[in-house]
Amino acid sequence: MRIRIVDAFTDRPFAGNPAGVLLLDAFPDDDWMQNVALEINHAETAFAHPLPAGGDADWALRWFTPATEVAMCGHATLATAHVLHGTGAHEGPLRFATRSGVLVASPGGDGAITLDFPTAPLTAVEVPQGLARALGAAPRTAFDTGPNVGDLLVEVADERTVHALRPDLAALAAHSERGVIATARAENPGLGYDFVSRCFFPNVGIDEDPVTGSAHTALAPYWSERLGRTALTGLQASARSGRVRTEVRGGRTLLTGRAVTVIEGDLLV
């Protein structure tokens, strides 16, 4: 079967977040998919197969990190939609049946793809004891992001603090189900982004995720409320970096970005 590596939330290769994409006739057993994801060893590998016509969704979609299956993944969904549109396997909006419900990916006239995801419910919580030491900075606020995302969202002092973070990942793992999203307001919105973030997910085998679509379902409502606008752009300040355009529409959040296929080959097992 064909296997592809796609860089998502970027318009150039070797940036954004790489994802493996496999289009199947049906899902193999879970152990096989987990082993493939470990072999690919990117943050997520997406497995998808077509569904019968006339249903609520067009394709079934699952995502695996090198360590476990996850309930939601934005960049691997974008990568899968990019492959399906690019190969002619599907035209127009795509409806994916996932563990997080039906997720829609719609192509735009400019080559970008917009994902329609559930908005993460944010619940203010006390800053956990020891988090500042584990993260390497003192959080101003802390929010639980709900079951689909499973992260602790924290705002730190400023953008420079986000860039400078060097967390103790072993210590950080104790503070949330998946990991920690650290964010701050952009110092210079004239550069084309409104907020900045970094995402650390040691509990699912990802020390730092390059660009995280699911995290932006929490970042978008957080910053939309504070900045007074529903449409924003986030910069994820990892080494690879990437931008996500967001728009909050009540219980749904739109995530828009581009993708580039960098590797295509045959899986022999």
Q: How many CB atoms lie within 10 A of CB 91?
A: 9
Report which secondary-structure segment, H or E, holds 223. helix 213-227
> Could you tell me if 113 and 256 are in contact, meaning their C-beta atoms sit under 8 angstroms apart?
yes
> Would you call 44 a catalytic residue per the annotation?
yes
Report which secondary-structure segment, H or E, holds 164. helix 159-164
Please, what is the angle between helix 213-227 and helix 74-86, to 10°? 110
Q: How many CB atoms lie within 10 A of CB 127?
A: 16
H helices of 64-127, in order, are 74-86
How far apart are alpha carbons 122 and 219 in whole angstroms? 10
> Could you tell me if 57 and 97 are in contact, meaning their C-beta atoms sit under 8 angstroms apart?
yes
Using alpha carbons, list the distances in angstroms from residue 109 to 28, 114, 161, 203, 259: 35, 11, 37, 38, 14
How far apart are alpha carbons 81 and 86 in whole angstroms? 8
Report which secondary-structure segment, H or E, holds 98. strand 94-98
Amino acid at residue number 208: E
Per DSSP bridges, beta strands 231-236 and 195-201 are parallel
Out of 39, 44, 69, 126, the active site residue is 44
Q: Which residues are catalytic?
A: 44
